[in-house]
Structure 1
Amino acid sequence: MESHKVVWGIIGCGDVTEKKSGPALNLVDNSRLMAVMRRDAAKAADYAERHQVPLWYSQAEDLLDNSDINAIYIATPPSSHLGYALAALRKGKHVYVEKPVTLNSLEAESLLEEVRARGGKLVVAHYRRALPLFLKVKELIDQSAIGELRTVQLRLWQSRTPDLVTQRAGDWRTDPSISGGGYFFDLAPHQLDLMLYLFGMPVSYDGFSLIQGEKIAVADQTTGIILFENQLVFQGSWCFNVAKENQVDRCEIIGSLGRITFSIFGNTVAVHTKSEEKEFTFDHPENIQLPMISRTVKYFTGTGPNPSPIEEALVLMKIIDNFSAIRS
């Protein structure tokens, strides 16, 4: 199904859609937000009123039955991504789905099969791919600014109440039946997807997770290694049990002539070589998913490629499954 205009419905108009993504649906050419859905009818109605959205629903089926809507943005927690995505594809709708795309790789495989069977269009919201900061990192790599690539070292260490996550009582991120498996499942997809975007497909990967804390149901430490086709070695460390003063978000790409350093959740990238030291600072868009949504609309309208396909998200979920295997 091709259309000159993408008419959106949001399933799950929660926090992530308030500023990061929802308003962007009306800021992109050939794109309009028509309806939102949330099981709490009062909250759905409130969102629609505050964001000037014409329609709201408390049942996903009612939104999916609206024939004027041709694209669905799934912004619920991961446990319901697969069900909603399958339902939307079977209604002939385009799909934009939050990360992680599913709870695990088996679900991702099911989603890929449905996309292929239906000839549908689905984009995963790995929006950092489209941000100027990471486009700059890719440009530096492609220009061989640090020579031949050798290794990538990534650390994301946070406390038990990470500064990178809005904390609430009963946070779904620490319920594995809803999130898949703790803060690693919430934050690492951004990082690992960028590694695939920057360096291509892996040759092999291996890792493990630990539950170091008492009375917790999800891993709080994860370690993983990826070997890429160009013999680049990635080593990642995720720890969600350090003291606040030891929190770190750092990625370092080492080459034969220097290194590139940046934070996945920051706004600067630095290049260090013998001949020069450069730092680039970027102001992220107010609606941070705007660049990815713009690319998604072009894909849905047949004027651009898929900016984040399910095939690559499946590889990502296989890596996450591997890294999250808990050792006792």
Structure 2
Amino acid sequence: MENPKIVWGIIGCGDVTEKKSGPAFNLIEDSQLLAVMRRDAVKAADYASRHQVPMWYSKADDLLGNSQLNAVYVATPPSSHLEYAVSALRSGKSVYVEKPVTLNSSEAELLLAVLNNTGGKLVVAHYRRRLPLFLKVKELIKTGEIGEVRTVQLRLWQSRSPELVTKAAGNWRTDPAVSGGGYFFDLAPHQLDLMLYFFGMPVSYHGLSLIQDSESTVADQTSGTILFENQVVFNGSWCFNVSPENQADRCEIVGNLGSITFSIFGNSLVVKTVSGEQELFFDPPEHIQLPMISSTVDYFLDRGPNPSSIEEAVVLMKIIDEFSKVRQI
């Protein structure tokens, strides 16, 4: 291919695309954002105008029918990820799809089957894998800075209206038909995918969810344990009904020679070893998905590996499904 370029269309140009991802497509070499789609034509046209995108559509089929596009970013809520990703793959386009990749593991397995049948390419937007902070965590683990990892303790406790969640898009995150579940489905994929990225494949996992708050319609308390092949044990706690004073976002990786502590949604880490304690700070990219999109472009152009595969996402969704089983008491 002469002067290869990935020419993008976005399906679902909502809040996540305003700054986190959308502008990044035109900031990467050999990448161009040509078209966007949103069911609300007025909002689609407005987005295209504000972001200097040449084309806009109000129907996904019209965007997918554009032969100038060779890649699609699916940025809708999870309930339509499978439909749009499958349609894009069958139209011969590569796919970059938001997390969680689907509503559940069964849908993720269907998407994997279609991907295999079409011979296409697909990347899941687990973009924290390419942020400097988490690359540093992976490096510290690999080089044995804290020795052999023994256990990981993760806590994400938020109020009934989490500060980590965008409010402008309404409350679809607590509608299981649209999101798959509650805030756990929206926030935990970032955290659990990083565990797979750091420690590899799990041997076993189990967990449970509860509806503790009588005003909640979805689970607001989740806990789970994962045993990895390298004998690392992970314990996670997610709670979305605490007071603002008790909110927490903390992950601690403990080895036999020290520990690494950081926030999944923060910008620093603390390394403790026998030689002392060090805190490292990281400036996130202005458009936080840019490093992952850049790696995705390289993969689509056969210049690098898949930075976040559907095979890994299937495992992730199986863990989420297991942790999300609501216990009745």
TM-score (norm 1): 0.99
1:11–1:37 contact (8 Å) kept in structure 2: yes
Matched, 1:223 2:223: yes
Contact 2:222 2:239 in 1 (8 A): yes
Aligned to 1:140: 140
Shift of residue 216 of structure 1? 2.3
Distance 1:3 1:324, change over 3 A: farther
Give SS of 2:92's match. coil
Correspondence 1:255-270 to 2 at 5 A:
255-270=255-270
Mapping of residues 1-150 of structure 1, within 5 Å = 4-150=4-150
Query: SS at 2:234's partner residue?
Result: strand
Corresponding residue SS for 1:39: coil
The TM-score with structure 2 as length reference comes to: 0.98
Q: For 1:168 and 1:283, how far apart are their aligned partners in 2?
A: 25
> Offset of 1:169 from its aligned partner?
7.8
- Conserved 8 A contact 2:15-2:169: no
Is contact 1:208–1:325 with CA below 8 Å preserved after alignment?
yes
Q: CA deviation at 1:274?
A: 2.1
What is the SS of the residue equivalent to 1:20? coil
Gaps of 5+ in 2: none
Q: What is the CA RMSD across the aligned residues, in angstroms?
A: 1.2
Indicate conservation of the 8 Å contact 2:138/2:198, yes or no.
yes
Amino acid at match of 2:190: H
Equivalence for 1:300: 300
- Post-superposition Cα deviations, 1:13-53, rounded to whole Å, max 9, x if no partner, equal 00000000000000011000000000000000000000000
CA distance in 2, matches of 1:197, 1:20: 21
1: CA distance, partners of 2:3 / 2:309? 20
What is the Cα deviation at residue 4 of structure 1? Answer: 1.2
- In the TM superposition, residue 213 of structure 1 has moved relative to its aligned partner by 1.1
| Contact residue 2 and residue 301 of structure 1 kept, 8 A | no
AA of the residue aligned to 1:316: L
| CA distance in 1 between partners of 2:7 and 2:123 (Å) | 15
Identity between Structure 1 and Structure 2 (%) = 74
Please tell me the residue identity of whatever aligns with 2:181. G
Deviation at 1:263, TM superposition (A): 0.2
Match of 1:248 in 2: 248
Please say if residues 208 and 224 of structure 1, whose CA atoms lie closer than 8 Å, have aligned partners that are also in contact.
Answer: yes
Q: Distance in 2 between matches of 1:204 and 1:2?
A: 47
1:305–1:53: structure 2 CA closer, same or farther, 3 Å change rule?
same
The CA deviation at 1:3 is 7.9
Supply the AA of the counterpart residue of 1:14: G
| 2:284 aligned residue | 284
Q: Cα gap change, 1:264/1:59 in structure 2, threshold over 3 Å: closer, same or farther? A: same
Rounded Cα–Cα distance in structure 2 between residues aligned with 1:144 and 1:123: 29
Structure 1 distance, partners of 2:209, 2:20, is 30
State the one-letter code of the partner of 1:121: K
Q: How many residues align?
A: 328
Contact 1:37 1:56 in 2 (8 A): yes
Paired residue secondary structure (1:299) = helix
